[in-house]
Copies of this chain bind each other. A is one copy, B any other.
Amino acid sequence: MTVPQQASEGSRAVKRTIEFIRHHRLQKGDRLPSERELSDRFGVTRSSVREALAVLDALRLTERRPKSGIFLRNALEDSGLDSLVIQANLDLPFDERTMRDVSEARVIFETHAIRLACARRTDADLNRLRELVANYADRVQAELNVANEDVEFHLAMAAASQNAIIVRTLTPLFLMSFQWRQKYFSSPVIRRRSLADHQEFVATIADRDETRAAALVQKHVHSAFDEVRAMAEGNEQPESHNQWEGQDQ
Interface SS, A side:
helix
Of the candidates B81, B86, B171, the one whose C-beta lies within 8 Å of that of A165 is: B81
The answer to whether B105 and A169 have CB atoms under 8 Å apart is: yes
The answer to whether A166 and B52 have CB atoms under 8 Å apart is: no
The answer to whether A80 and B163 have CB atoms under 8 Å apart is: no
The answer to whether A10 and B165 have CB atoms under 8 Å apart is: no
Q: How far is the CB of A101 from the nearest CB of chain B, in Å? A: 4
For residue A167, CB closer than 8 A to chain B, the reply is yes
29 CB contacts below 8 A, A to B, read A8-B66, A51-B51, A51-B54, A54-B54, A58-B82, A58-B86, A60-B85, A60-B175, A77-B164, A78-B164, A78-B168, A79-B168, A80-B80, A80-B168, A80-B171, A80-B172, A81-B81, A81-B82, A82-B83, A98-B164, A98-B165, A101-B165, A104-B163, A105-B165, A105-B166, A108-B112, A109-B109, A109-B169, A165-B173
What residues of chain A have their CB less than 8 Å away from a CB belonging to chain B?
2, 5, 8, 10, 47, 50-52, 54-55, 57-60, 63, 66, 77-83, 85-86, 97-98, 101-102, 104-105, 108-109, 112, 163-169, 171-173, 175
